[in-house]
Amino acid sequence: MTRTRKDQAEVAMRNPIQCNQCCMQSICVPAGLIPSEIERLDKSSREPHVYAKKSTVYSPDQPMHSLFAIKSGSVKCYTIDREGKQQITSFHLAGDIIGMESISKGAAVTYCEALETSMLCEIKLNRLFAQDFSGVDKNLLQLLSQRLEQRNAHYLSVVNTSAEQRIASFILSISKHFFEHGFSRYEFRLPMTRTDIANYLGLAVETVSRIFTSFKQQGIIDTQQSMLKIKEPAVLERLLS
């Protein structure tokens, strides 16, 4: 019998992945911890949550003293201006850690919404720091540095590149992410809609759809609903040079 998303969420909550079994240890867990320390970290500092599609993980000014590691699924972060217009600031996939922008303020600065049924591991910072694990500060600093680098690269892409280059860069960045987390580099599912992609890249939806169609007709990519296959990665790379 096929399980519904609700059934899958309930199974995930009954059988949460432990820290010593998780593929994200190198990101979440400070390097060099021995098994007993990992078990202590698991029991004291983390709490798994399952979010249904379109449910809110957090919203602006919500008190927050945790980070969230995405174990499965995906989310988008966005702001809403005075006119009620949404501006997507980032997408995050399995393997990402979100919420770092909230550390200094102690409260969320954006909305965060699940793009699909997603399992997030909440890492409670006060409990984590109370354990006095070595390497925590260094890991957080590295993560913050990477996030700033990604934000700067995205800003420069939106300001200085053509629509085709933005789409090519976006596809390649998703490809790189999946590859770095042990998945296929050239065939994967895009959980975000064309409308969300257009919002994030500062393009019209029609432009995004036209370029995806053009790439497909040229044999650079293939798409079947939300599945995307990169057939000519070198062509995408050349568009960025």
Which domains, ranges and CATH numbers included, belong to the chain?
5-147 (2.60.120.10), 161-240 (1.10.10.10)
Residue 15 confidence (pLDDT): 44
Q: For 21-35, what is the mean pLDDT?
A: 53
Q: Give the DSSP letter string of 148-197.
A: HHHHHHHHHHHHHS-HHHHHHHHHHHHHHHHHHTTS-SSEEE--S-HHHH
CA distance 18 to 156: 39
Residue 52 confidence (pLDDT): 96
The letter for the amino acid at 131 is: Q
The pLDDT confidence band at residue 36, using thresholds 50, 70 and 90, is low
Strands (E), the chain: 46-51, 56-58, 66-72, 74-80, 86-93, 97-98, 111-114, 118-124, 187-189, 221-224, 227-230
Contact 51, 72 (CB under 8 A): no
Residue 103 confidence (pLDDT): 82
Q: Which of 119, 104, 2, 109 is nearest to 53 (CA)?
A: 119
**Token digits of residue 91:** 């997408």
Model pLDDT for residues 196-233, shown as the tens digit of each residue: 999 999 999 999 999 999 999 999 999 999 999 999 99
Q: What's the predicted TM-score (pTM) here?
A: 0.79
